[in-house]
Amino acid sequence: MPSTTYLVTVSGPDRQGVGAQLFEALSAVPNGGCVMNDVAQITIRDTLVLCVEVSVASSISPDELARIVREHGVATAGIDVSVTVVEPGDFQNGKRLMVTLLAPNVSSADLELIFSAIAASDATCERIVHLASYPVDCYELIVRGSNHDRLREALTSAATQSGLDLAVQRAGLHRRAKHLVVMDADSTLLQDEVIDLLAKACGCEHEVSLITEAAMAGEIDFAEALRQRVALLKGLPVSVLDEVRSQLRLSPGARTLIRTLQRLGYVAAVVSGGFVEVLEPLLQDLGVDLLAANHLEIVDGVLTGHLASAVVDRAGKARALRQFAELTGVPLEQTVAVGDGANDIDMISAAGLGIAFNAKPVVKEHADAALSVPYLDAVLYFLGISREEIEAD
């Protein structure tokens, strides 16, 4: 029997039972009933919009279908019912992408730029959800389009123009699957640089700073710079490590990020160019068991100025990410890497989702998403976790 596709929209003040009445009405459609193709609902400030796409016998007109729905008591207490024909050409081609955008405040002007970019890419937004209103404003959009490269480019340009942080990912259930989230330590999980605190305790801040600047300028590589800086720590008593650890400050939102990941069954790990002897006790307190970092050589309670292990450098961080993924049974495409420095680039590039956290431009160029807000738990929004879920514990 020939059929026609309709969109049934119910809107108005929300009340209990309206959904049950609507689906009862659709079940009562004569001539073979109706086939339900899709359902979507949103309620904002007690105002309901419920849409159902159905296919019914072509002999049933839009007015007839609307009458059937109204007869089942749906259109009461100010609720409106409308039925429109869905033409074959109305179906949007292409696959869905998940677009997450955030800033201290997202304005209507910001959203105008984003939605203009979507329209200019021959794409359409199917859903928008407000994930958080504090400490940052965050929205998640489901966007459908056929040219994802063009869409990503347009969205990135719009986000840059408006100052929004942006992540564009493929949509799907994989976002709620088990994830491995790997973080850098210095200036990511921590506000501090451990080597600088050790240098201050040793009285060699200036020398360490000069080596760091040379490494940043590309004059020496990370591994050599690390060896030179560690050499300056020779003779430092091991007790200083405890003193430095007590000075470390977690980034805002770090505890919330790790606690939420653990509660939801995700795995948190740290891969750092810092030192196990300083980081390990801190991470044990946070409940993080997976750590890859450098080992300091200690003899008779004193630092020798040498490393006791291979250097965890740029390549070493990416290698550790893959090893942790294999260890935890998480596919590489479901890993998340968060970092701020050039030695995080390989790790960020290898992960399924690479996030540059308050990072230098060169790092952002290699990342899938960038965060410029100081809150590390904003990483959770890129996993589709709302503020309400974060605070559920």
**Residues 23/72, Cβ–Cβ less than 8 Å:** no
Amino acid at 134: Y
Domain boundaries, the chain: 3-90, 95-171, 180-390
Cis amide bond preceding 88, omega within 30: no
CATH 1.10.10.10 fits 95-171, yes or no: no
Query: Does 95-171 match 3-90 at the fold level?
Result: yes
pLDDT digits (tens, 9 = 90+) for 116-151: 999 999 999 988 999 999 999 999 999 999 899 999
Q: Please determine, for residue 87, whether its predicted confidence score (pLDDT) is greater than 80.
A: no
pLDDT given for residue 90 in this prediction: 46
Which residues lie below 8 Å from residue 127, measured CB to CB, with a gap of 6+? 40, 141, 142
The model's pLDDT over 247-263, given as tens digits with 9 standing for 90+, comes to: 999 999 999 999 999 99
Separation of alpha carbons 133 and 349, rounded Å = 30
Q: What is the pLDDT of residue 212?
A: 85
Q: What is the pLDDT of residues 1-59, one digit of tens each?
A: 678 999 999 999 998 999 999 999 999 998 777 889 888 888 888 898 999 999 998 88
For the chain, the farthest-separated pair of C-alpha atoms sits apart, in whole angstroms, at 91
Q: What is the mean pLDDT of residues 241-246?
A: 96
CA 2 – CA 272 distance, rounded (Å): 64
pLDDT of residue 392: 81
Which residue numbers are catalytic?
184, 186
Query: 315 and 273 in contact (C-beta within 8 Å)?
Result: no
Architecture of domain 3-90: 2-Layer Sandwich (3.30)
Question: Under CATH, domain 180-390 is a member of which superfamily?
Answer: HAD superfamily/HAD-like (3.40.50.1000)
Q: Which of 316, 362, 354 is nearest to 337 (CA)?
A: 354
